[in-house]
């Protein structure tokens, strides 16, 4: 990846979903929900012909993916011991089940980075990339994922 000369940011808000941290000994082990929001930093070394890092109007596929994953959905970690019950609730139309490795804020930030960075690279022909994803569960708590190369670049 080239060194970045330009950055831009985008925030997507209003994604009400539920999850649980089944490994927790505290109240987080229970199903609970938040209205998540996602903050992205994008970078590039060369601007688009329009003079942009990314075309914010062209992020419809990113918004559609976020909607699919996080809008009125139930998130479960792949290894949740209650997965069979969740799958049955999904089949019954009670929940919209989405699974990935770690549905906590940190794991969500990494999961979102992996998907959205690939989308941004495709949308820009590799010219731009994601340098940071922040996932906020409420006004007090968030987690940030920044790929190793970006941490080194940021110094």
pTM surpassing 0.85? Answer: yes
Residues 133/108, Cβ–Cβ less than 8 Å: no
Condensed to tens digits (0 to 9), the pLDDT of residues 95-154 reads 999 999 999 999 999 999 999 999 999 999 999 999 999 999 999 999 999 998 764 444
SS (H, E, C) 77-121: ECCCCCHHHHHHHHHCCCCCEEEECCCCHHHHHHHHHHHHHHHHH
For residue 41, the SS3 value is: strand
Q: Tell me how far apart the alpha carbons of residues 65 and 98 are, in angstroms, rounded to a whole number.
A: 12
**pLDDT above 90 for 4:** no
Q: Tell me how far apart the alpha carbons of residues 110 and 100 are, in angstroms, rounded to a whole number.
A: 10
Q: Tell me how far apart the alpha carbons of residues 121 and 129 are, in angstroms, rounded to a whole number.
A: 6
Residue 148 confidence (pLDDT): 83
Residue 58 confidence (pLDDT): 95
**pLDDT above 80 for 28:** yes
Condensed to tens digits (0 to 9), the pLDDT of residues 39-89 reads 999 999 999 999 999 999 999 999 999 999 999 999 999 999 999 999 999
Residue 155 confidence (pLDDT): 41
Residue 68 confidence (pLDDT): 98
Burial of 136 (0-12, 13-18, 19+ CB in 10 A): buried
For residue 23, the SS3 value is: coil
Residue 118 confidence (pLDDT): 97
């Amino acid at each position: 990846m080239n060194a970045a000369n330009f950055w831009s940011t985008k925030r997507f808000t209003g994604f009400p979903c539920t999850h649980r941290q089944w490994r927790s000994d505290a109240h987080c082990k229970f199903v609970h929900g938040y209205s998540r929001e996602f903050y992205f930093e994008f970078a590039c070394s060369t601007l688009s012909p329009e003079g942009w890092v990314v075309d914010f109007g062209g992020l419809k596929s990113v918004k559609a993916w976020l909607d699919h994953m996080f809008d009125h959905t139930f998130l479960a970690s792949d290894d949740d011991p209650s997965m069979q019950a969740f799958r049955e609730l999904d089949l019954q139309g009670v929940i919209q089940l989405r699974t990935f490795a770690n549905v906590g804020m940190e794991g969500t930030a990494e999961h979102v980075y992996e998907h959205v960075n690939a989308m941004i690279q495709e949308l820009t022909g590799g010219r731009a990339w994601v340098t940071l994803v922040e996932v906020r569960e409420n006004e007090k708590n968030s987690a940030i994922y920044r790929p190793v190369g970006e941490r080194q670049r940021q110094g």
